[in-house]
Structure 1
Amino acid sequence: MATGIELIISSICNVTFCQPVYDNPLLEKQASSSIDQYRDLIKEINGKHLKIGTYNNRPISWVERGEDGALIGRGVSFVLVDILQKRFNFTYEVVVPEKNFEIGGTKPEDSLIGLVNNSLVDMAAAFIPKLTRFHEMVRFSYDLDEGVWVMMLSRPKESAAGSGLLAPFNNAVWYLILVAVLSYGPCITLLTKLRSKLVPDGEKYIPMSPSFWFVYGAFIKQGTNLAPEANTTRVLFTTWWIFIILLSAFYTANLTAFLTLSKFTLDIESPQDLFKKNTRWVSAEGGAVQYVVSSPNEDIYYLSRMIATGRAEFRSMNSLYEFLPLVSGGAVLVEERIGIDELMYGDYQQKAREGVAEAERCTYVVAPNLFMSKLRGFAYPKNSQLAPLFDTVLTYVLQAGIVDYLEHRDLPSTKICPLDLQSKDRQLLNSDLYMTYMIMVTGLSAAVAVFIGEIMIKRYVIKDSKPKKPKRKKTKYEKNRHINSYDDTRPPPYDSIFGRSPKIKVNDTTKTKIINGREYLVIDAANGDTRLIPLRTPSAFLFRLDR
C-alpha cells in the first residue's frame, strides 16, 4: 500500500510524464521492506520487558512507591507510556537517576541522560529539551511539545514605576524636564542681553535671578511681575508657558490613569533585567537551564557571569515547593511554565484552605517575558529501534491534542494570579504620596539652609568686605527719602498717591478762587508756576495736598 507522500508524488507525475509511484516495482519493494521491518519490530517488542527511566518534574513526570516497594511512574509521560504499552504489549519497570538530574553528575547513574547514553535504560519517559549536546548523546523522539521557561518572583507591594507622583513619566523624561528648568532661565538672560546690545531701544536685559524665578514660577503655574515689551522676550515667555501647559496636561492625565488602574510593572521582566540589576535567581541543579546558561553557543550565555559572582544558584530539590522560601526572600525562580503554574495554583489553594483573604492569596507573579523555550521529547539510546516504532503512535496522539490536554487538565482555564489582578478600586497608600512628603521635607531643609547661608554671608562676608565709614546723624530729608524711592517696575506705593508731596506747599495764606461756579486753591508750585486745585470734588483726591 502506498503512503500519503507517495500518493502526492504519484499525482504530480500523472499530470507530467511519470508513472504512478505505487506502480514502480523498486519503490514498491522499498515500501514493502519498510513495512516488513515495522512488523518485525512489533513482534520483537511484543511481551518484552523494558527499563524506562524518568525523573521528578511535576506535572510532566514523577514517581511514587507502590505497596510492594516498586516505583510507579506518574504524570503526562506515563499516560503516553501506557498508551504505547497497550498498543505494543510490553511490560516495564521504572528507573530513576540517583541525583534527579537531566544531565551532569560524576557518574552515568546521576542523570537521566547518563542512563540513556550508557544504555542503562531502554528509553527515558520524560520531556527532555532537545539541546545540541543532548543530540550527540541520545536519540530523540518526535517533538511532543515546546517547553517554555519563565521567571517567578514575589509579587511587589507597589509598581516598579515608582511612587504615584513620579509614575506618569519615566526617568529619562524627568531628567529632561530638570534640564529644561535649569537651562531656560540662562537662555532668557543670554538672548535678552544679546538683544539689548544689538537693538538699542532702551529695554534692559533680564538678569539671571528674575529669569530663574520666572521659569520656576511658571513651572508651578504662578504669575510674574516681569512685563517685557520686546517681541523677542514675549516669544520666549510664551514658548515656556505653552511648554508648561502641555506638560501639565500630560502629567495630570497619566497620573489619574496610574492612580485609577491597578496594573503593576515588575522590576524584573526579562533575562536582561536579571543581569543589569544583578538580581539573585535560582533554578534546579542539573537541568536544562544550568546547561544553557553555561553553553557559549546560547543567547543567554551572559548570565554565566552571575554564576561566578554567586548571584545565580542551582540547587537540587525534590519539589518546587522547596524553592518558595527563596522566592519570598527576594530571589527569582527560573523553571518550566507548567511546573510554575502548578506551583502557584497549589500555593493559592493552600492559602484558600487556611482562610487567607482573597486579595492576599496571590503572593507570587510570573514575569511577562520568557526566559527561554526549547522543543522536548522522549529520549532513546543511539542504537535503539524504539524511536521509529513509538513515533508512529506518538504522532497521532500529539495531533489529536491529547498531550496539550494532559498538561493542563489539572490547572484552571483562567490565568493563575495574573500580573493585573483587575481590582475594582484603587485606594491611595502612603507609598503613593511618599514623594509629596519628601518634597515638603526637602523644601523645608533647603529653606533652613538658605536662611543660615544668608545670615553667614551678610554678617561675616559682606560686613567684613565693606569699608567702615564714620557714623553721622541723618538729616530730616534723608529720613523721609524712602517715600519717593521705589522701583518703576512695581506698582506705586500708597503714599505716593494720597500722601504728601514736597513739591506743593499748602499753608494758611494759600488763596482760593471761584471759577465757573467751582472753588479752586491757588497754589504756587516750586518752579514758580501757579496751579489751580479743585475743592470738594472727587478729583481733588488725585492731588497731593500738604495739610
Structure 2
Amino acid sequence: MADGIAAIVSSTSCPTNIALQSVCNAMHVPLVFVARDNCQVTAGRKYTLSMRPEASGIDRALADVILQQRWRSMVVFYDDYYAFSRIQNVLALTRGNFMEVIVLKLPSLSNGSQVIVGLPSGQKEISDYGEKLKRVVILCTVENTIRLVKQANQMNLFTPEHHWVIANQEVSDKQLLAINASRGVLTVVRKLISFSEYTDKFMAYWRSLPANVTDGATTSPYDVKMTAAYMYDAVLHISRAVYALFLDRQWIGPNKLRCSIDVSVPWPGGPPLMETLRKVRTPGVLGKSGFDDTGYNINSQMQVLRLEKVVNKTRVEVAGMWDPVTRLNTTARTLPAGTPRVDIRNKTFRVVTLEEEPFVFKRMTPVGVRWEGFAMDMLTELSKLLGFKYKLYEVQDKKYGSPQEDGTWSGMIGDVMQGVRGFALSAITITPQRERVVDFTKRYMDFAVGILLKKPVKKTDLFVFLDPFHVNVWLCTIAAFILVSAVLFLLHRIGTRKTGDDPNDGPDFNLRNTMWFVYGSFVQQGGDLTIGRMPTRILTGVWWLFTLIIISSYTANLAAFLTVTRMDSPIRSFDDLASQTEIPYGTVTDTSIAQFLASSDVETYQRLWSFMKSENNSAALVRTAQEGFQRVRKGKYAFLWDVPVIEYEALTDKNCELTTVGKSIYSKGYGIAFPSADPYRDEFTLAILQLQDSGTLDKLRHKWWPKNGKCKLDQDSASSSSSALDLDNFAGVFCVLAIGVVLACAVALLEVLWHMYRRRREKRNFPAKENGELACKGGCQSPSNVTVRKDENGEIHIIVSPTITQVQVQPNLLIPAQTPVKQSAWEPSKRSKEEYVPMKKVEFALPPEGCSKQQEYVRNVDDFTTRL
C-alpha cells in the first residue's frame, strides 16, 4: 500500500484473507478475493467482495436437484470441504420431505493413502446400508469424491440401481472421465462457464503459460482451475469499474497509504470505487459478475450433468441449468430410471383462484360469468397439452395466503394444504415460506415489487427559453450590453473632439443609434454604423467575439431544454419513497409483499414497513389491490404491488394518469401451487417448459401486456425523455413577440397623437384667413427679407423683414394673388439623407404695406422637414 494501490485481488488462505479484509476496510481499499476452502466475507467489511457466490446459492441448487428426484431417504457424505452448517441448510431447504437422512463424515486421508475409511466394509454393514446407499449425496473435495465413487464401484455398492448426486462447482471434464468405471447414475452440479469472447481470450492467455502451471489443461475451459477463471473475471470487473469512474470524472488516483497506530489516513478514492464495483455488471468467463449488499457475487448459475454407463462407455449429457431466478430448468430425461409417469389425461382438477387483473378476472356474458386473463389462457393451453379437465372456484377470503398464529394458512395456500382444491392458479408468488408447505411448479413468469403512482402534473413554463442561462448570466449580459454601448459612444465622442471633427456633424453616433448597433450585433443582425477609429474597432471586435460565444452556448443549451420533457416527481426509487413523508404509501395486508417488508433486514425496507404500520398511517395498508388502485387515482398515494399487475393497470387506465417507477425489488416468480409431494406437479412443470420453448407464453404475455396499449407505460416519470416540440415550449417566445407588437403599436399611436397635437398648435399660431388673405395691422409699406431658424422644440420659424416690394406669387400660397412676393428656394447643406428629407421649393410672401415691425410665420411641417 505504500506504493499506492487502488484495489487488491487475492486468493489466499482464510487467516491471511481475514487479515487483508481488516486492513483494506481500515484503509478504504477494495479487496476482491477468490475464496479457498470455506472463507467468507466478514460481517461489517464494506470494502470486501467475494468472486465466488455465496455458499447458500449452491445449497439451493443442490436442494432443488434433490427435490426434483423426490427421494424419501438418502445418505450424505461430507468432509472438511463442506461445513456441516451447510448440510443443515440443505436439509432445511428440502422442507423435511425425507423420512430418513444419514449423514457420514469422511476422515482425512492418512499419509496419502488412496483408501478412504468411511464406506461399510463388513458384510453385515453392507447389508445394512445396501438399500440406503441407492440415494447418496456427496459433499466432498473433487479428489475425495472420485476415490469414494471408485471404492463404491469396487465394493459393488454402485450399480445401475444407484443414483448419486455430486455437488462441487470445480469438477472438471477430465475428472468426470476419471470416474468412467462407475456403473450407476451420477448427477453432477458444478459452476456454469459462459462460452463467449472472454472465454476465448482467457484460454489463449492460459495456453501461453508454462506447462507446470496449466497442468496440461489447455483444451476445455472446464479443465482449467476455477480459481484462475475467477481471478480473470475479478480483474475484468475492476477494470470496468475504473473505466466507469474515468468516464464520470470521479476517479481519484491512489495514494501512498501508511498503516500505523499513530497515522492511518484512508484513501478518499475508495468509496466511489467500491460503490461502482457493486453497481457494474461485467461479462466474463463465468458469466456476468455483480455483487449484492453482502459482498458476494450474484452470478451463481450452475450446470447439471448426468452420467450413465452405456455399453461400456460413460455418457455425459447436460441435464439442465440452475440460477437463482428461474431455479432448476430440466427435462424429463433427468428423472431417475424407473420413475413412473402419472396418467393425467381425462382427470378433472378442482382449481382455486383469485381475481387479479390481468391474470384472472370475471367477465359477464349472456350465458353467465366467464373467467378470463393471462392465467386462464395458460390454463387452457395446459389443458390442451396434458388432456385434463378442470373446475374453477374462487377462494372465500380473497387472499393468496399467509401463516396464521395457530400454524394454519389462509387464502389459496390454505385451501391447497387442506386438499380442498386440486391446485391454485392466479398471480401467486413463489416464496420460501410457501415452499415449505406446498409444492410449486417452475415459474411461468417473473415477479417483482414495483411502485404505482399518479402521474405528476406537467408544468408549462412560458419562459423556458430563459432556462439555458442562469439569472446571474442574464443580468451580467444586460450589464455588459449597457456598458459596451456607453463606452463605444464615449470613445467616438472623444475621438471626434481629438481630431477636431464636429461630434454633432452626422448624427449616426448618438447614444440611441449606438445602443441599437450594439443590440443588433448581439442578436447577430449586424448594424449600419461605420466604425472607423481603432479604439472603437477594438471594442466592437471584442464585443462580437463575446456575442459569438454567448449566442452559440445559448443555442446549444436551448436545443437540449426544448427537446427534453421533464416531469417533476419526487419518487424515483424505493429509497426516495422511504425518505419522504409527503406521499403516503402502502400495500395489501396478508400478502407475500407485506411479509417480505416485515421480515426484511434492509434498512430501506424496514423504514417502509415502519411507516405503513405507524399509528399516523393506519390507512396505508389496504385490503385488496383494487382499493389500492383507487387510492392512487385520487392522488397523494403510492401503491406497492406486483410489477406485471401495476404495469397492466397503468397501460389500461381510463385517463392514462398512472405511471410506475422503473426500479423494482424482491425478484421472485409466479407458479402453480400443488399439495406437498403431489405426483402431478412434475407433469405441469414439463408442460410449462414446453409452452415456454414453443413461444406460447410469450404470445400470451404480449396479448395482455401490449407494447402499444391505450396508454404509454412511462416507467420513470421523473426521468427525461425526448419528445417533439409543441406550443408549450414556445409559449413564452410568442408572449414576448406579442408584447413587442403591442408596444410598437402603442408607440406608433403616441406618435400620431403627438403629431396631431403639433398640427393644431401650428394652425393656432399661423394667422391666415380662409380666403387666403394675410392678417396684418396697419399698412404694409416696407419689403422684407426672409430668414429661417429652428428652436429647441424642433419647430421651424420663418422670419420676414420688410425690404422688398410686392411681386406676383403662385396661387397655392396662403397669400392673395395680388400681394407682392419674392420667390426663393432653400436647400439644406451638409445634412444626412437619413435624417433630412429634401425640401420643396418654398415661396415666401412679403408682408402687406403698413407692417412696420418684423412678423414671424410658422410654416406647416408638410412643407418643411422636421429637423434642421
Displacement after TM superposition at 1:269 (Å): 1.0
Amino acid at match of 1:18: N
Within 5 Å, give how 1:144-223 maps onto structure 2: 144-158=444-458, 164=464, 221=480
1:269 matched to which residue of 2?
572
1:305 matched to which residue of 2?
610
Displacement after TM superposition at 1:274 (Å): 1.0
Tell me how far apart the structure 2 counterparts of residues 432 and 341 of structure 1 sit (CA, whole Å): 38
Amino acid at match of 1:78: M
2:723 matched to which residue of 1?
422
Tell me how far apart the structure 1 counterparts of residues 648 and 552 of structure 2 sit (CA, whole Å): 45
Displacement after TM superposition at 1:49 (Å): 3.0
2:597 matched to which residue of 1?
293
Instruction: Say whether 1:57 aligns with 2:364.
Output: no
Tell me how far apart the structure 2 counterparts of residues 371 and 14 of structure 1 sit (CA, whole Å): 39
2:643 matched to which residue of 1?
337
SS in 2 for 1:314: coil
SS in 2 for 1:146: strand
Tell me how far apart the structure 2 counterparts of residues 163 and 266 of structure 1 sit (CA, whole Å): 21
2:116 matched to which residue of 1?
none
In structure 2, the gaps of 5 or more residues are 1-164, 166-170, 182-307, 316-331, 487-547, 735-868
Within 5 Å, give how 1:24-423 maps onto structure 2: 34=336, 36-39=338-341, 41-42=342-343, 45-63=344-362, 73-104=371-402, 110-158=410-458, 164=464, 221=480, 253-254=556-557, 257-278=560-581, 279-297=583-601, 300-309=605-614, 310-311=616-617, 313-317=620-624, 319=626, 323-347=629-653, 350=654, 362-414=656-708, 416-417=711-712, 418=714, 419=717, 420=721, 422-423=723-724
Residues 1:406 and 1:275: Cα distance change in structure 2 (over 3 Å): same
Deviations for 1:146-175, whole angstroms, at most 9, x for unmatched residues? 123332322222369999599769xxxx9x
If the length of structure 1 is used for normalisation, what is the TM-score? 0.52
Tell me how far apart the structure 2 counterparts of residues 32 and 218 of structure 1 sit (CA, whole Å): 77
Instruction: Say whether 1:21 aligns with 2:279.
Output: no
Tell me how far apart the structure 1 counterparts of residues 722 and 659 of structure 2 sit (CA, whole Å): 10
Displacement after TM superposition at 1:254 (Å): 4.0
Residues 1:274 and 1:120: Cα distance change in structure 2 (over 3 Å): same
Tell me how far apart the structure 2 counterparts of residues 318 and 399 of structure 1 sit (CA, whole Å): 32
Whether contact under 8 Å (1:127, 1:378) holds in the other structure is no
Tell me how far apart the structure 2 counterparts of residues 86 and 404 of structure 1 sit (CA, whole Å): 17
Deviations for 1:242-301, whole angstroms, at most 9, x for unmatched residues? xxx999987885455224432435321111111112221243343333222222246633
SS in 2 for 1:272: helix
Tell me how far apart the structure 2 counterparts of residues 37 and 217 of structure 1 sit (CA, whole Å): 85
Tell me how far apart the structure 1 counterparts of residues 663 and 176 of structure 2 sit (CA, whole Å): 51
Displacement after TM superposition at 1:430 (Å): 9.1
Amino acid at match of 2:392: V
Tell me how far apart the structure 2 counterparts of residues 32 and 261 of structure 1 sit (CA, whole Å): 54
Whether contact under 8 Å (1:55, 1:63) holds in the other structure is no
Tell me how far apart the structure 2 counterparts of residues 366 and 87 of structure 1 sit (CA, whole Å): 36
Residues 1:247 and 1:151: Cα distance change in structure 2 (over 3 Å): farther
Residues 1:328 and 1:31: Cα distance change in structure 2 (over 3 Å): closer
Amino acid at match of 2:590: G
Tell me how far apart the structure 2 counterparts of residues 289 and 118 of structure 1 sit (CA, whole Å): 24
Whether contact under 8 Å (1:270, 1:371) holds in the other structure is no
Deviations for 1:116-157, whole angstroms, at most 9, x for unmatched residues? 233332211124222222222322111212123332322222
SS in 1 for 2:565: coil
Tell me how far apart the structure 2 counterparts of residues 110 and 63 of structure 1 sit (CA, whole Å): 22
Displacement after TM superposition at 1:306 (Å): 1.3
Residues 1:113 and 1:33: Cα distance change in structure 2 (over 3 Å): closer
Deviations for 1:323-375, whole angstroms, at most 9, x for unmatched residues? 2453332212333333233323333xx45xxxxxxxxxx42322232354322
Residues 1:160 and 1:55: Cα distance change in structure 2 (over 3 Å): farther
Deviations for 1:525-547, whole angstroms, at most 9, x for unmatched residues? xxxxxxxxxxxxxxxxxxxxxxx
Tell me how far apart the structure 2 counterparts of residues 87 and 260 of structure 1 sit (CA, whole Å): 51
Tell me how far apart the structure 1 counterparts of residues 598 and 552 of structure 2 sit (CA, whole Å): 50
Amino acid at match of 1:392: L
SS in 2 for 1:399: helix
If the length of structure 2 is used for normalisation, what is the TM-score? 0.34
Residues 1:47 and 1:250: Cα distance change in structure 2 (over 3 Å): same
Residues 1:131 and 1:31: Cα distance change in structure 2 (over 3 Å): closer
Amino acid at match of 1:92: Y
Whether contact under 8 Å (2:417, 2:675) holds in the other structure is yes
State the structure with bigger RCO (CA 8 A, min sep 6), 1 or 2. Answer: 1
Residues 1:35 and 1:86: Cα distance change in structure 2 (over 3 Å): farther
SS in 2 for 1:38: coil
Backbone CA RMSD of aligned residues: 4.9
* Paired-residue identity, %: 17
Tell me how far apart the structure 1 counterparts of residues 733 and 573 of structure 2 sit (CA, whole Å): 26
Structure whose residues are more often helix by fraction = 1
Tell me how far apart the structure 2 counterparts of residues 371 and 90 of structure 1 sit (CA, whole Å): 36
Tell me how far apart the structure 2 counterparts of residues 266 and 399 of structure 1 sit (CA, whole Å): 40
Whether contact under 8 Å (2:461, 2:728) holds in the other structure is no
Whether contact under 8 Å (1:113, 1:134) holds in the other structure is yes
SS in 1 for 2:357: coil
How many residue pairs are counted as aligned between the two chains?
352
Tell me how far apart the structure 1 counterparts of residues 705 and 632 of structure 2 sit (CA, whole Å): 24
Tell me how far apart the structure 2 counterparts of residues 306 and 345 of structure 1 sit (CA, whole Å): 29
Deviations for 1:175-217, whole angstroms, at most 9, x for unmatched residues? xx99xx9xxxxxxxxxxxxxxxxxxxxxxxxxxxxxxxxxx96
Tell me how far apart the structure 2 counterparts of residues 111 and 118 of structure 1 sit (CA, whole Å): 11
Residues 1:421 and 1:250: Cα distance change in structure 2 (over 3 Å): closer
Residues 1:371 and 1:219: Cα distance change in structure 2 (over 3 Å): farther
Displacement after TM superposition at 1:381 (Å): 1.8
SS in 1 for 2:395: coil
Deviations for 1:373-418, whole angstroms, at most 9, x for unmatched residues? 3222111222322221211111111222222221221443337423
Whether contact under 8 Å (2:562, 2:725) holds in the other structure is no
1:534 matched to which residue of 2?
none
Q: Find the structure with the greater CA-based Rg.
A: 2
Whether contact under 8 Å (2:400, 2:591) holds in the other structure is yes
